[in-house]
Amino acid sequence: MMYENAVTYVHRILRDVVRPGSVVVDATMGNGWDTALMAVLAGEGGTVYGFDIQPVALEVTKTRISGAAADVNLILAGHEEMSTHIPPEHHGKVQAVTFNLGYLPGGHKDITTQAETTRRAIEQARAILAPGGVITIVCYRHAEGERELEVVRGLLASLPQHTLTCTETTFLNQAGNPPVVFVVVARS
């Protein structure tokens, strides 16, 4: 099986775990590519929650998901608040949460995800995950990204192995400081 890069690797995982009717979360909407894929996979009867702190991300994502059969909720809020925005009836039912960290491609590089809020968001994602559900996290290696990567790695390494499986994938021979992908799977 070929995983060309971090994004295709994550998309392969989403295709494996998201089914029609699933509840899923895009924790960093950005330009909406991941939200759009999740909306297609969750389909009719599915629910997607998308988070971003920049209004432009919601605008772009809205155009990307037009016509989607899933119920797509675009939320202008930090992912560290996800558990207050996702209604209690969906807690414990979320099949996938995807984080593509860093800054908006083509946007302000100083508006970027931050280690501490990312840590809180991952804790919340973990709490709302369904049995068998998955969290994917793509970490980039710019200045704040390096700190964030260490925080994410430390958090995942400390999670209980009897309930969660946590892995790290690096693209060793890819040029230009490639991102690192972390995956958390909740045991069913």
Ligand X SMILES: C[S@@+](CC[C@H](N)C(=O)[O-])C[C@H]1O[C@@H](n2cnc3c(N)ncnc32)[C@H](O)[C@@H]1O
Q: Which residues bind ligand X (CB under 6 A)?
A: 28-34, 51-54, 57, 78-80, 100, 102-104, 111-113, 117
Question: Which of 94, 106, 90, 82 has its CA nearest to residue 32?
Answer: 106
Q: How far apart are CA 90 and CA 84, in angstroms?
A: 11
Which residue's beta carbon is nearest to the bound ligand X?
Answer: 30
Q: Which is nearer to ligand X, 53 or 129 (CB)?
A: 53
Q: At its nearest, how many Å lie between ligand X and the CB of residue 139?
A: 10
Q: Which is nearer to ligand X, 30 or 133 (CB)?
A: 30
112 Cβ neighbours under 8 A, 6+ residues apart:
101, 102, 103, 142, 144, 145
127 Cβ neighbours under 8 A, 6+ residues apart:
83, 91
Q: At its nearest, how many Å lie between ligand X and the CB of residue 28?
A: 3
Q: Which is nearer to ligand X, 26 or 166 (CB)?
A: 26
Q: At its nearest, how many Å lie between ligand X and the CB of residue 188?
A: 26
